[in-house]
Structure 1
Amino acid sequence: MAFGAGNPSADCIADSAGGLTFDLDVPGHSAADAAHWSAALVLRRRGADAVESPEEEVRLPLTPNGDGRLRAVLPSTVALPEGRWDVHVACGEAPAQRLVPGIADLRSLVDRRPGPSTSPLAVRIPYATKHGNLSLRSWLRGPHAEAGDLRVEAAGITGRGTLHRVENPRAWLDGAVLEARCRRAAELVRTVPVTAEGQDFSFTLPFAVLCEEWRGGPEMWDLWLRGGPEGAEEARVARLLDDVADKKQIFTYPARDVAAPYAPAQVGPYYTVDNDLSVRIDERPPVGGR
């Protein structure tokens, strides 16, 4: 039997503020009985022990939705730390049961443009796991640098983005720089200037500056936007404001050949498992294969 087979399903509606509404049927229970038994939608952070870390479990009351079903609401104002959250339903004393995805209305997440605020940006995207269960991917960012159009050219990357969740985007971006930080060695940081227009910014990152210290093998550089008063604030460049929970396999970009000092290399941008923007350097395969 497939994972999740026979489990109750939940329909999900997203709103533009970052909130989610779940509507579901619970076999053996009706909405009319909801007042007489304890029922909750339970979110458990992946890999967390709810007994050891109670803050890693969120319980949302289930109430009749007026249409013969049960409803739970996760407002954008309820803090949900970053990570993957598995969705369960708990009824009375029975063990919590995983939910499977029903109909998902995520239209409000497409091309989402948050309003002005300095509170952290809440992003929650429901998705089906590889076993067919319902989970949420959650982000909580502030400030947030949303990656936009990205063009990969022979010499480097030209990108655009939008800054969110700062009090004065113009002042924050005045003199801001894009930082590429090497995961292999924290002291290796390369910066390029950004051009700002309102809360939008653009940058060009040459591949050559990332290849200067490369000594073979795969090497990753993470992209950050640094600005604010005297460059004291930072924001990870990421793509979060849409309905795609995992962008690594969806938004793919070509790698370009670079004549690096150490050896011929291939360099290109990619999105990480957290939907953050990074750059990968690797050895160029020999012509004709090995």
Structure 2
Amino acid sequence: MTPPRASAPTPFEPPHAGTTFEEPTAVSAPLPASGTVTPAADCIADSAGGLTFDLDAPGAPDASGDWSAALVLRLRGGGEADEVRLPLAPGGEGRLRAVLPSTVALPEGRWDVHVACGDAAPRRLRPGVDDLRALVDRRPGPGTSPLSVRIPYTTKHGNLSLRSWLRAPHAEAGDLRPEAAGLTVRGRLYRAPDAAAWLAGAVAEARCRRDADLVVTADLGPGEGQEFSFTLDWAKLTEHWRGGLDVWDLWLRPADGSGPARLARILDDVVDKQQVFAYPVLPVDAGYAPARATAAYDADNDLVVRIDERPPAAS
């Protein structure tokens, strides 16, 4: 699903135009040298957060009967313990199948996908055909167990990887309305024991990455059940701004003192929101200097607000 890009009401470009706001600190390895046969895997997602992988038999023709054949998931930047092995079984038409159920906990991060057979070293898999229709506009059912989200994607080197999220509670960002006075956010809360009770008395928090002591709060507006809304004033976000770039992370904090919920957008099939969702960059009359503000998603699809210096008007 590819949403329309929002048009900006000003000629200002977001900072670092043409690049992403943030890049992962670790990247996947390149594919093997040309001439090496690299198998590909098709992925099918289900609405509960599970994934099914179908691939051609790796290695020897009798690999489908090799009990050691496995799909291997390795957490990028992790250690030896950060590995999940899924048995490969005959899936029909000479293919092999591995299943990653939603009940198998996959910690947050980027997982590189390999195939292993016998004593041969595991090999990276190429992406095949993905069926991610079940992830579009996903509405998880009730429960308090962590919400599992896994989205397969193609790395810049052409490998198959997964982006995994595991969150409870989770605040899914919906409609965003950047306006002259501030940013209005609407969303839904998932995986809280009682969403309406959790939201009663809760507040929205904007936490400044530059200074952990800088926190701006906003009351939640009226909502029904799991729904919430709030408005962050640009004036409050720029009160202590002294030039340069400030990035604010957005959270919901309940009144009962239990764990907060990070605002993010992960319940769809778009693995990298910062490359797809663009919001207006608005001028703000800050006390220190002319500023500009925009909403954005970072490399983890978490919702942030960016405050930066406003370029001088062209003469």
What TM-score do you get using the length of structure 1 for normalisation?
0.94
CA contact (8 A) 1:88 1:96 kept: yes
Output the amino acid matched with 2:70. A
Higher relative contact order (CA 8 A, sep 6+): 2
Q: Give 1 or 2: higher strand fraction.
A: 1
Give the match's secondary structure for 1:172.
helix
Shift of 1:61: 0.3
Structure 1: gaps of 5 or more residues: none
Q: Which runs of 4+ in 1 moved over 6 A?
A: none
Is structure 2 residue 43 aligned with structure 1 residue 16?
Answer: no
1:203 to 2:230 alignment: yes
The Cα shift of 1:33 comes to: 4.5
Q: Map Cα deviations across residues 190-232 of structure 1 (whole Å, 9 max, x no partner).
A: 1001122110111111111100000000011100011152x43
The amino acid of 1:41's aligned partner reads: L
Aligned residue number for residue 140 of structure 1? 166
Match of 1:278 in 2: 304
Instruction: Provide the rounded CA distance (Å) in 2 between the counterparts of 1:36 and 1:57.
Output: 20
Counterpart-to-counterpart distance in 1, 2:104 and 2:138: 19
Tell me the SS of whatever aligns to 1:175: coil
The number of equivalent residue pairs is 282
Aligned partner of 1:44 in structure 2 is 74
Which of 229, 245, 252 is equivalent to 1:218? Answer: 245
Check the 8 A contact 1:171/1:228 in 2, yes or no: no
Describe the superposition over 1:98-132 as per-residue Cα deviations: whole angstroms up to 9, x where unpaired: 00000000000000000000000000000000011
- In structure 2, the residue corresponding to 1:65 is in which secondary structure? strand
Residue by residue over 1:253-286, the C-alpha shift from the partner in whole angstroms, topping out at 9 and shown as x without a partner, is: 1211001010000111110100000001110001
Instruction: Quote how far apart the aligned CAs of 1:38 are.
Output: 1.5
Residue aligned with 2:232, SS? strand
Asked if 1:103 is matched to 2:129, the reply is: yes
Shift in Å, 1:66: 2.6
Tell me, yes or no, if structure 1 residue 152 matches structure 2 residue 178: yes
Percent identity, please.
Answer: 67
Q: Deviation digits for residues 155-214 of structure 1, max 9, x if unmatched? A: 111111000001111100101111000111111111001122110111111111100000
RMSD, aligned CA: 1.4
TM-score (norm 2): 0.87
* Residue equivalent to 2:17: none
Separation of aligned partners in 1, 2:259 and 2:233 = 24
Alpha-carbon deviation of 1:36?
Answer: 3.6
Q: CA deviation at 1:37?
A: 4.6
Offset at 1:34?
2.7
Q: Within 2, Cα distance between the matches of 1:203 and 1:240? A: 20
C-alpha distance in structure 1 between counterparts of 2:87 and 2:175, whole Å: 40
Tell me the secondary structure at the aligned position of residue 186 of structure 2. strand
SS of the residue corresponding to residue 220 of structure 2 reads: strand
Match of 1:263 in 2: 289
Contact 2:44 2:131 in 1 (8 A): yes
